[in-house]
Structure formats: C-alpha cells, structure tokens
Amino acid sequence: MERSHHLQGLLILLVVVAIGGLYLWQNSQPSIVVSVPAATPTAPDAPPSDWQAALEAQLAIASTPLPTPDLDMPAFVPPTLPPSAEPDVEVIEPEAIPGSPWPTPTTAPTDVAPTITGPTPFPSPTGVFVAQNNEPVGFEPPPEQVPLGQHADDHFWLVRPVDASANSESLFYYPFGSDGPGNDYRVHHGVDMPNPIGERIRAGGSGTVVWAANGATLADREDLDMYPSYGNVVIIEHDFGYRGQKIFTLYAHMSAILVEEGQRVEAGDIIGLIGGTGDVSGPHVHLEVRLGENRYFSAVNPLLWIAPYIETGVVAGRVTYADGTLADDVLVTLSRRGRVIETTSTYIRPRQPGQTRDWTVVPDPAWQENFVLGDVPAGEYDITATIGERRITSTITVKAGTTNFVTLGIDPAATPQPADAPDES
C-alpha cells in the first residue's frame, strides 16, 4: 500500500516536469542573425551609372561656360564721346494772378520816395548762423491767392518766394526784428527760409529788377543799400505801392541769379536758385520787404505782406510797458489747451510812435506792431507776454486769411487819491 503511494507521487512529479518543459519549449525564440553585405568595388575605368550620366548632362545644359581669354587680344579702351550741347529746359511760368494790388482805393505810388531820417547804414544785415537742414520737408498747404485783404489794414499782396512743396516757412527762432535766441545775432530785417541748394526762388510780385549781382560788387549806388554778406542778390521794384510809397523786395544768398538788371518780371517768375553765398552757415533765402525807399532801415516785416497758408491767419500785436512805450525783446508765447504752439519775441529797439531817430526796427505803417506770428491755424488760443516777472495773458480767436491783432501790456499804476475830508457838519 505504501509502495503504491510512492508510485503515484513519482508519476505526478513526472507530469509536472513534462508540462513545464513543454511550456518552455513553446515560448523559446531563435536568435536573430544580421548580415551586412559588403560594398562592391568599382573598377577605376568602369563607365558611370545611368543616373550619374543623366545628372551631369542636365548640369551641363544649365551652366554658363567660362570665356577663354585670348592673351593676344589688345586691352579694351572705351570710346570717348563728344560733349553734348546743353539741353533746352522749358521753364513754365505761372500765370499772373489777376486782381488789383490795392484792396481798397489808394493813391498810386509816386516817383519820389519820401524823406526818411534814420541811423547810418548797418554793416551787415544777414550774418546769421542758419543750421543746414537736409531732412525731407513734409507737406505744406498752399498759400492763399494774392492780393488778399479781408481787413482794411491787410496788405497780403506778395506770393511766397519758395514753393509750398519746399520749405516756405520762416525760421521760428530768428524772426524779423529779433537778435536770435541767445541775443547774439544781428538784428534781423527780414525772414529766412532754409532749403537745399538749387530750390527755385520766385518773384513776390510784378515789377522791374533793379539789382541782380553779388552784394560785394556794389559801387557808386546811392539809391540802395547792399552788403557783401548778402552774397548773390536780386532786388525788385514793384509796380504797386502802399500809401504813396514804393515797395521793394530783396532776395539774398542765391546760388544762381536767373534775371538781369532792368528785366521785367511777373508774380511767381523764377528769379534765382537758393544757395549759401555770402555770410551764412546753411543754404536759405533771406527775404526783405522795403517800404518807401530801397534801404536796409526801411525794411518791414514780410509776414504781413506774403499770403498766409490756406486755413491759417497771422497774429500781430503790440506789447507795451506801463508808460505805453513798445516793449523791447519780450517773449511772446502762443498756446492752445496748455500746449505751446509757437513763440517769438518783440522787436529790438523798435521805432516808437512819433520817433524819427535812434531806432533799429520799423513797425508796419498800418499795424504799428512789435511782434508777428505767421501761419497760425484758425482757432482759439491763449497768448502770453512775459515782461520781467510779469505774465500778461489774453485769449484770441484766430481767423484765417487775415491779420489778428492783440495788445498786451502792463496797466499803469493807479494814481493815489487823497483821503475823503471829514464831514464837518
């Protein structure tokens, strides 16, 4: 019995071993053998493959063959062309602007200039350091047509000397009647318009050229003032006048003069090109308007004579001390909603009313101003004059196409009044 139990256990063990061996045999994997074929050597003289031959043929078609230099070829010498004649340039002159130069009936100018007693000639009127500006000039609106005179005292009769496509705006920091921001320039008797050399300069109005040469060549001329610092200059005596006085315009520092003395010109005719001749540090045109006689000390502010831009006006005014005299070299600021729009200063040593001597700058005969701001867009502004430590402010509404006048001054001190006598009743 015991022996049969041993046989049964042995059989069970053999069955378990057989099942385990079968399981291991079914899950066993054969080892993977990788073989890398060796490259087949190509004989040195073997022909190229078909794909290689096709690629070389395509590259040969697309390539540019290199030239083969000929060592016996002489050096190439470019032919010399004969100088060509100057091309004919047709200058299209602008049409004359119709209308009478007098907006209101006035007496025509006489041939005899009025006698004006003034100081001796000043040595040099335009020795100003004008920074050269080569930056491109942005768009500027065209000026109004002339003659323009919405107010009885307006006399915007002259076109601007430079096209609106260039810079036809005057330097803000060196205005008429000023000695510059540092008070170290000569007192300015005109306005300056910086532009690149070669920009066209146009006549402000119709008239006759009475000078067309360099200022250094003046000799034995008692009828006009001229200085070497002007460089190349053109002066026009206009056909129209103001209150019986002749009007002259002067254009200085030209690179080229395109008119001759005695030649007749119309408004807008090209008379020269902007340059840097004379006493300057950058190319610009210096414009003067001389009234009554062709003299340096008879120049008036050109901004009251050239037409403003469309939708802009001119602000002119008088700043006075407490005694009513014109304030000298006072800062004037134009602002809108707290933002400064433009600044200028009152004239240096302006001629006082009734004064004939000891003056430097002549106010306009109609306005008797001592400051002018040109090309101010229409709208409402605050204008302030600083006299010492006093600030006088006024609000003005600028109308386009006319002169907007304002008076700023220190009120005279009140006269002390005696105390009331006691009532004896």
pLDDT digits (tens, 9 = 90+) for 187-207: 889 999 999 999 999 999 999
Mean pLDDT (whole number) for 390-406: 95
CA 157 to chain centre: 23
Which residues 6+ apart lie within 8 Å of 412 measured at CB?
A: 322, 323, 324
User: What is the C-alpha separation between 92 and 94, in angstroms, rounded?
Assistant: 6
From the number of C-beta atoms within 10 Å of its C-beta (0-12, 13-18, 19+), residue 106 rates as middle
| Nearest alpha-carbon partner for 256 in 190, 191, 192, 200 | 200
Give a yes or no: residue 216 inside a domain.
yes
Is residue 413 predicted with pLDDT exceeding 70?
no
| Nearest alpha-carbon partner for 141 in 171, 164, 172, 107 | 164
User: What is the C-alpha separation between 293 and 298, in angstroms, rounded?
Assistant: 7
Same domain for 281 and 384, yes or no, is: no
* DSSP H helical ranges for 28-124: 50-62
Same domain for 234 and 330, yes or no, is: no
Q: How many CB atoms within 10 Å of residue 97?
A: 17
| Nearest alpha-carbon partner for 218 in 229, 209, 204 | 229
Buried b (16+ CB within 10 A) or exposed e, 292-308: bbbbbbbbbbbbbbbbb
Same domain for 209 and 130, yes or no, is: yes
For residue 30, the model assigns a pLDDT of: 57
Given 310, 331, 348, the domain boundary residue is 310
Q: How many CB atoms within 10 Å of residue 408?
A: 22
For residue 411, the model assigns a pLDDT of: 72
Is residue 130 predicted with pLDDT exceeding 50?
no
**Weakest mean pLDDT among 15-19, 130-134, 324-328:** 130-134
For residue 144, the model assigns a pLDDT of: 72
Give a yes or no: residue 153 inside a domain.
yes
**Weakest mean pLDDT among 75-84, 90-99, 266-275, 296-305:** 90-99
For residue 192, the model assigns a pLDDT of: 92
User: What is the C-alpha separation between 271 and 202, in angstroms, rounded?
Assistant: 6
- The β-bridge partners of 407 are 318
For residue 86, the model assigns a pLDDT of: 47
Q: How many residues does the chain have?
A: 425
**Weakest mean pLDDT among 14-28, 75-89, 90-104, 378-392:** 90-104
Phi, psi of 314 (to 5 degrees): -115, 135
Given 274, 292, 310, the domain boundary residue is 310
Same domain for 241 and 382, yes or no, is: no
Mean pLDDT (whole number) for 292-321: 94
User: What is the C-alpha separation between 253 and 235, in angstroms, rounded?
Assistant: 12
**Weakest mean pLDDT among 3-12, 192-201, 208-217, 340-349:** 3-12
Same domain for 296 and 319, yes or no, is: no
**Weakest mean pLDDT among 36-45, 178-187, 189-198, 252-261:** 36-45
**Weakest mean pLDDT among 163-177, 323-337, 392-406:** 163-177
Better pLDDT: 381 or 125: 381
For residue 320, the model assigns a pLDDT of: 94
Same domain for 223 and 305, yes or no, is: yes
Confidence of residue 36 (pLDDT cuts 50, 70, 90): low
> Phi/psi class of residue 157: alpha, beta or left (left: φ > 0; alpha: ψ in -120 to 50)?
alpha
For residue 42, the model assigns a pLDDT of: 58
Give a yes or no: residue 35 inside a domain.
no
User: What is the C-alpha separation between 213 and 171, in angstroms, rounded?
Assistant: 25
% residues pLDDT > 70 (the chain): 67
Give a yes or no: residue 25 inside a domain.
no
Reported pTM: 0.66
Ranked by mean pLDDT, which of 31-35, 75-79, 202-206, 240-244 comes out on top?
Answer: 202-206
Give a yes or no: residue 16 inside a domain.
no
Same domain for 278 and 255, yes or no, is: yes
For residue 5, the model assigns a pLDDT of: 63
Give a yes or no: residue 395 inside a domain.
yes
Same domain for 166 and 306, yes or no, is: yes
- Tokens coding 374: 């040109």
User: What is the C-alpha separation between 71 and 26, in angstroms, rounded?
Assistant: 86
Same domain for 319 and 195, yes or no, is: no
For residue 24, the model assigns a pLDDT of: 74
For residue 157, the model assigns a pLDDT of: 93
Mean pLDDT (whole number) for 217-230: 82
Same domain for 275 and 329, yes or no, is: no
**Weakest mean pLDDT among 45-59, 98-112, 334-348:** 98-112
Give a yes or no: residue 348 inside a domain.
yes
Mean pLDDT (whole number) for 345-367: 85
Confidence of residue 143 (pLDDT cuts 50, 70, 90): confident
Is residue 378 predicted with pLDDT exceeding 80?
yes
Give a yes or no: residue 355 inside a domain.
yes
- Tokens coding 90: 């047709």
| Nearest alpha-carbon partner for 306 in 183, 215, 202 | 202
- CATH code, 186: 2.70.70.10
User: What is the C-alpha separation between 414 and 303, in angstroms, rounded?
Assistant: 37
Q: How many domains does the chain have?
A: 2
Q: Coil, helix or strand for 331?
A: strand
**What digits encode the pLDDT tens for the residues 307-326?**
999 999 999 999 999 988 99
List the Cα angle 413/414/420 in 5-degree steps.
155
Same domain for 303 and 318, yes or no, is: no
Is residue 208 predicted with pLDDT exceeding 70?
yes
Same domain for 135 and 268, yes or no, is: yes
Question: By residue range, what is the domain housing residue 378?
Answer: 312-409
Q: How many CB atoms within 10 Å of residue 234?
A: 26
Given 289, 310, 331, the domain boundary residue is 310
Answer yes or no: are the C-beta atoms of 234 and 204 closer than 8 Å: no
- CATH code, 398: 2.60.40.10
Mean pLDDT (whole number) for 360-373: 93
Confidence of residue 11 (pLDDT cuts 50, 70, 90): confident
